[in-house]
Amino acid sequence: MKIKKLLVLLLIPLVFCSCRENAQIDEMSFVKVIGIDSVSSGLRVTVGIPFPSKNDEAQNKKVESRTVQCRTLSEGMELLEASYDKKLFFGQVSAVIFGEDFARNGINDVIDFLVRSPEMRFDLPVSVVKDGTAEEIIAGNTDTVISEKIEGLLDSVKATSVSGNIKLSKLVEMLEDPFREIYLPYMTYDDVTNPEFAGYCIFNGERMNQFLTPEHSLGVSFLNNSVTNHTYVQELNGESVTLKITNSKTGIKLENGIFNIRITAKAEVLQAGDSVESFNDQTVTELCRMLDKEISETVDGTLNVLTQNKCDATPLGDCFEQSNPKAAEYGEWSEMLPRIKYTVNADTKLDISKTVQRSVKQKGNR
């Protein structure tokens, strides 16, 4: 009797399991990257699929790219599936790339499909191609797995700023938030085999609005989360001092209708000339003041661009919503953006311990 009860208990969860066809791992082709572009008739979907190493074609190229034209992404998937002898498996996708045209036309439907797909993971990094198409990027990189290249690039973005790497889950959150617009990292390329990330593009709703310059992208990083790696070169006493921001934290408060934005940052000296090597309090204060000014100007310039374009890719809207229980009654946040008032203050602490040690040692050697 006990065994029967136990079996029933074990079988109950089966009811909650969605049954799907299983397939042997070697009977599947792993889609590593999906690219989506706009064409007049709808969409152009490109997938990058690594060749098995035992395949003869793998001697020449590592990835096979295949493109289909379709009206919707789900139709595209079916067409791709039909064109393959193996089952296409999307659970291993590690990058989604949108072409510029597609991003400008609206990404909602595609995001909806990606999120609903039972195979697709939620931690997929999403990025946009500037002045090009996703197909070009994927088809032009058959000697290597483009998703790995993109992952590597995104890792460097992530190393620069915690908020740099936008995943599918984060994208959905931003899409659903009425007080926040989407920003996505974008890549540019001269040589299709060597793309690089240049900054963020910002959206109005589901449509891409514009590409931000690297400086304004840095401002977005400062406003959204921690900047963990950025170098500034300052001139002091006629010599260059290279300073590196190692960490930053941003606090936003809405007081008397004014957004007070306070950025606290930690920095260290990477390189300095002989005349500024013996860091005294005055030198440190001066360098901190310079950094504060740089950061404030960066953030101020970014906010200026964002507010004028009515794209709030920062936590300002969330702060407004939290501070005003009836925020929704004020109307569209994007319409209010150009009228908001804000102050930006930066407070940088400079760590000179490593530099001083090096300086003393050099003096000793002399």
**Residues in contact with another protein by the rule CB under 8 A:** 2, 6, 10, 13-14, 17, 22-26, 28, 30, 32, 50, 52-55, 89, 91-92, 94, 119, 121, 147
The DSSP letter of residue 239 is E
Min dist CB 140 to another protein, Å, is 21
**Nearer to another protein (CB atom), residue 53 or residue 365:** 53
Min dist CB 49 to another protein, Å, is 10
Interacting residues of 242 by C-beta distance below 8 A, sequence separation 6+: 231, 232, 233, 269, 270, 271, 272
**Nearer to another protein (CB atom), residue 22 or residue 365:** 22
Min dist CB 154 to another protein, Å, is 14
Count of CA atoms in the C-beta half-sphere (13 A) of 193: 4
**Nearer to another protein (CB atom), residue 15 or residue 191:** 15
Min dist CB 294 to another protein, Å, is 40
**Nearer to another protein (CB atom), residue 30 or residue 186:** 30
Residue 35 gets the label, from left (phi > 0), alpha (psi -120 to 50) or beta, of beta
CA distance 80 to 67: 8
CB 353 within 8 A of CB 267: no
Tokens for 139, please give them.
Answer: 């088809």
**Nearer to another protein (CB atom), residue 5 or residue 326:** 5
**Nearer to another protein (CB atom), residue 6 or residue 328:** 6
Name the residue among 261, 249, 253, 272 with its Cα closest to residue 297.
261
In the sheet where 239-255 sits, what is the strand order? 230-236, 239-255, 258-272, 341-351
Min dist CB 256 to another protein, Å, is 51
Min dist CB 15 to another protein, Å, is 11
